[in-house]
Amino acid sequence: MTVFDRLDATHDPTVHSWLAAANESGCAFPIQNLPFGIFRRARSAEEFRGGVAIGDQIVDLAALAQADLFSGDAATAIRAGSRSSLNALMQLGPQFSGALRHALFAALKRGSGHESALKECLVAQADAAFSLPAQIGDYTDFYISIHHARAIGRQFRPDNPLLPNYQWIPIGYHGRSSSIGVSGQRFARPQGQKKAAGAGNPTVGPSERLDYELEMGIFIGTGNPQGTAIPLEDAENHIFGLCLLNDWSARDLQAWEYQPLGPFLAKNFATTISPWVVTLQALAPFRVPFSRPERDPQPLPYLESASNRRAGAIDIRLEAYIRTAKMQQRDEPAQRLSRTSLRHAYWTISQLVAHHTVNGCNLRPGDLLGSGTQSGPTAAEAGSLVELSQGGSEPLQVGSDETRTFLEDGDTVTFRAWCQRPGAVTIGFGEVSGSVLPAANPGSSTAPG
């Protein structure tokens, strides 16, 4: 493990910013957070560049580099972060992103001598357009909620819901990075092969069981050489930070294609992530112990350590909301579908990195890992519609006069996340939203020719 579960001056709950919006109750981005993203002014031809969220503003790292206020590792990090993606900053490692965090914390706090200079580097978040935080080379989606795994397993394999390897291996599959988009992504309903229960042959057509998956994304920072595993104790030195992630899923396509090699067209059409990446340094106050039920198999030695047991998990509260086309027309607010926490995950983020590289796989700066759907131990904590609707058998009441078993055209799904505990300032991840459009030239379902 690393020092990421230790508190320092940047977590001091008594410190306030000279930017009043950062001190308001309910603010996702107080001075104790300082997440990174890529932005430019909306409706402009400006270059995208790195920024840091504070209150309702963005510290423009390109402007900050021009201001030349800092030196040493912080200055190096500012220059790397001012580019059109955060890959260069991610590659530098936690020493540099941590130095920039400390420098900005000191400059943004009340009484700072840099207030006047920093005000010239601010852009309102309301005036910004966002891009992906990094150029994502590879995307791996894991499956680390045992509650979700059991619920899905019961629907696909009633007699054998949890396969025997699940409690030994962090299960994952390699996804498609080209279809990952930033919050606000709008995508056409996917099409593909599906086979109805009792049907003799599959048909081709738009998915009728489109779903969302409430996940966290984990961005890799410093990579590792091919052939060299990352030990569990060093794993968090290779993690830049976390974001929200929605791995949209076509359940009818998935049911037909997932055996023997796992997800394919059911998953690769769209994945949406939030624009802000919250660093592990900011998450230090919200670390919690990792535990495994005594009756379950315990992790093998390469996935086991005392420090991972002590503080390997993170209590990130997660919520999923839906707003249908009718709700938007009536100006009705989005409806919350569920609330859960990452602390229920069966594996920690360090274990994901250690397992991903144990065979010598090389991770690179900007690679993205998905946590898989995060569901808690109760039905109300389910992170997908396929769970909430019991496989489509129990429609959910949505808005004043609608129901849903799966997503319909025009639906917008939004995730929100935050961390809180007594004695610490609450920090947030912002939100990630995506909308379903009608299938492109859907025609009618046909048998494959």
Bridge pairing between strands 271-273 and 180-182:
parallel
- Rounded CA-CA distance 187/278 in Å is 26
- Rounded CA-CA distance 100/94 in Å is 10
Tokens coding 78: 């500012």
Q: What is the pLDDT of residues 165-221, one digit of tens each?
A: 999 999 999 999 999 999 999 999 999 999 998 999 999 999 999 999 999 999 999
**What residues have CB less than 8 Å from 161, skipping those under 6 apart?**
149, 150, 152, 153, 154
Contact 224, 363 (CB under 8 A): yes
Q: Which CATH number fits domain 139-437: 3.90.850.10, 3.40.50.2300, 3.10.20.600, 3.40.1360.10?
A: 3.90.850.10
**What residues have CB less than 8 Å from 439, skipping those under 6 apart?**
188, 189, 190, 191, 205, 206
Domain map of the chain by residue range? 9-131, 139-437
**What residues have CB less than 8 Å from 200, skipping those under 6 apart?**
none
- Rounded CA-CA distance 267/256 in Å is 13
Catalytic residue among 114, 148, 238, 356: 148
Residue 11 annotated to the active site: no
Phi, psi of 26 (to 5 degrees): 85, 0
Q: How many CB atoms lie within 10 A of CB 256?
A: 18
Q: How many CB atoms lie within 10 A of CB 253?
A: 27
Q: What pLDDT is stored for residue 156 in this prediction?
A: 76
Question: pTM for the full model?
Answer: 0.96
Q: Which residue has the tokens 């595993």?
A: 229
Tokens coding 166: 């699940």
- Rounded CA-CA distance 124/116 in Å is 16
- Rounded CA-CA distance 12/221 in Å is 26
Q: Which helix (H) or strand (E) holds 115?
A: helix 115-119
Q: What pLDDT is stored for residue 443 in this prediction?
A: 53
Counting runs of H as helices and runs of E as strands, what totals does the chain give? 11, 26
Q: List, in sequence order, every residue forming a beta bridge with 383; answer none if it has no partner.
A: none
Q: Which helix (H) or strand (E) holds 256?
A: helix 251-257
Closest Cα to residue 274, out of 187, 183, 184, 213? 183
In Å, how far are 23, 113, 201 from 118, measured between CA atoms?
Answer: 17, 10, 64
Q: Which residues of the chain have pLDDT under 70?
A: 1-3, 442-449
- Rounded CA-CA distance 224/417 in Å is 30
Amino acid identity of residue 122, one-letter, is: L
The CATH homologous superfamily of the domain defined by 9-131: Fumarylacetoacetase, N-terminal domain (2.30.30.230)
- Rounded CA-CA distance 256/265 in Å is 10
